[in-house]
Amino acid sequence: MSDSSLSFTVEPGGTLQGRLRVPGDKSISHRSVMFGALAEGTSEVSGFLDGEDCLCTMKAFEAMGATLDRRSSTEFSITGVGLHGLKSPGQVLDLGNSGTSMRLMTGLLAAQNFETTLTGDASLSKRPMRRVIDPLTQMGARIGSTDGRAPLHIHPVAGLHAIEYRSPVASAQIKSSILLAGLYAQGLTQVHEPEASRDHTERMLRSFGVEVEARPGYAALRGGQKLKAAKVQVPADISSAAFFMVGAAILPGSDVTLVDVGVNPTRTGVIEILRRMGANIELQNPRDFGGEPVADIRIRGGQLRGIDIAKDLVASAIDEFPALFVAAACAEGETRLTGAEELRVKESDRIQVMCDGLVALGVDARAMPDGMVLRGGAIGGGSIDSRGDHRVAMSFTMASLRAAGTIRILDCANVNTSFPGFADLAAGAGLRISVQNL
């Protein structure tokens, strides 16, 4: 939970070397708990992300009747209650910092015969929820909010009906929320999106035996289908790997291999963007973890160049822009990102917070309503307020690899939402990072 007293200090002069395994994919970990809880039988999960966001999902589904047996921090079995077996949690469900938990669970809970209230921390309570409330209301749901924001009060209704929804934003959270409600709706629930968002819901529902029709920008399923227990092997999270990819790419002489990383094509925008900037990235040992493509990613450092980031790459790199802005700050020439207004409604306003931090380090960066323009050059030392945003905090640690002075990053406790052990892993790879807990 946000503890503004936790900070990172990173000294210049670090390196990055070695084979690293970053923790499990956050999106896939959430879904493993949700679908395991709805399935008939016992599902086995390995590679789970033992971070605060996913633990919020776990606690919520345990409170609603799923039985979990945790064998280690990353391995558990979950015995589901079946599509219609969830029970009232008997308490408000606090989802912490986790937008994925709140949006996906709203879809699922809209169809239950009990009432639930979902809350979250200060950041989550500011994030827009109308984007799921509106389509779910069209399906017949009754959801109360404070001006489209949490806490959300989800009231039982007699039943939901399928809709064909054209989402104004490419968002896997919106799509998944509607599809989960669609499991309980009569008829064929269909979602269209302006760009393809991550498709983990579609892939994992299939591995749980649900028939899903999916192609880029479209997903559909018929209500009433039962989920059958499955084995889920969670790949390492490309969004967590991205910090090390950027760190290695900006520092000549670095050589890092990130192992077991999920390389689902709806998530690999960061690889494509870094390659277009001139980065040396190799995908090795391609394989499959239960319908999700996986590879080892080797990155060697060099000089990057600034680019115009194509709009069609925004959705597939949406969580990686904080790290990519740091790469751009180290590149030769100008980098321009447009069409990324979604960054303003993530765990923080990632356009403003990143721009403020880069400017504090002496980088020539300018925020725009839907992106940023920045010119690479010298990076100085300074103090950065991460505003409790895990990805902002981790991105700025990598800037130290090219900085002239010490960088102090404030309000870092939320790194534990997605990347427990980050500072230790980064220090082991050569970053000169220390943690202060005052």
Footprint (CB under 6 A) of ligand S3P, residues 197-226: 197-198
Q: Does 189 bind ligand S3P (CB under 6 A)?
A: no
Residue closer to ligand S3P by CB (options 59, 350) is 350
Q: Does 167 bind ligand S3P (CB under 6 A)?
A: no
- C-beta of 318: minimal distance to ligand S3P in Å? 5
Q: Does 195 bind ligand S3P (CB under 6 A)?
A: no
Among 173, 240, 348, 417, binds ligand S3P (CB under 6 A): 173
Specify which residues 6 forms β-bridges with. Answer: 437
Footprint (CB under 6 A) of ligand S3P, residues 21-40: 27
Cα(252)–Cα(241) distance, rounded to whole angstroms? 18
Q: How many residues bind ligand S3P (CB under 6 A)?
A: 11
- C-beta of 98: minimal distance to ligand S3P in Å? 9
Cα(54)–Cα(37) distance, rounded to whole angstroms? 14
Q: Does 172 bind ligand S3P (CB under 6 A)?
A: yes
Q: Does 176 bind ligand S3P (CB under 6 A)?
A: yes
Q: Do residues 247 and 9 lie in contact, with contact meaning Cβ atoms separated by under 8 Å? A: no
Cα(221)–Cα(208) distance, rounded to whole angstroms? 13
Cα(161)–Cα(10) distance, rounded to whole angstroms? 53
Among 15, 171, 240, 335, binds ligand S3P (CB under 6 A): 171
Q: Do residues 177 and 189 lie in contact, with contact meaning Cβ atoms separated by under 8 Å? A: no
Q: Does 319 bind ligand S3P (CB under 6 A)?
A: yes
Burial readout 39-67 (b: 16 or more C-beta within 10 A, e: otherwise): bbeebbbbbbbbbbbbbbbbbbbebbbbe
Residue closer to ligand S3P by CB (options 197, 335) is 197
Cα(88)–Cα(116) distance, rounded to whole angstroms? 7
In this structure, how many other beta carbons lie within 10 angstroms of the beta carbon of residue 13? Answer: 11
Q: Catalytic residue positions?
A: 319
Q: Does 268 bind ligand S3P (CB under 6 A)?
A: no
Binding segment toward ligand S3P, per CB under 6 A, in 166-174, 203-211, 216-224, 305-313: 166-174
Cα(239)–Cα(26) distance, rounded to whole angstroms? 9
Q: Does 100 bind ligand S3P (CB under 6 A)?
A: yes
What are the distances in angstroms from CA 61 to CA 30, 84, 91? 11, 13, 12
Q: Does 116 bind ligand S3P (CB under 6 A)?
A: no
Residue closer to ligand S3P by CB (options 120, 306) is 120
Specify which residues 410 forms β-bridges with. Answer: 385
Cα(11)–Cα(426) distance, rounded to whole angstroms? 13
Instruction: Please give the residue ranges that form the binding site for ligand S3P (CB under 6 A).
Output: 27, 100, 171-173, 176, 197-198, 318-319, 342
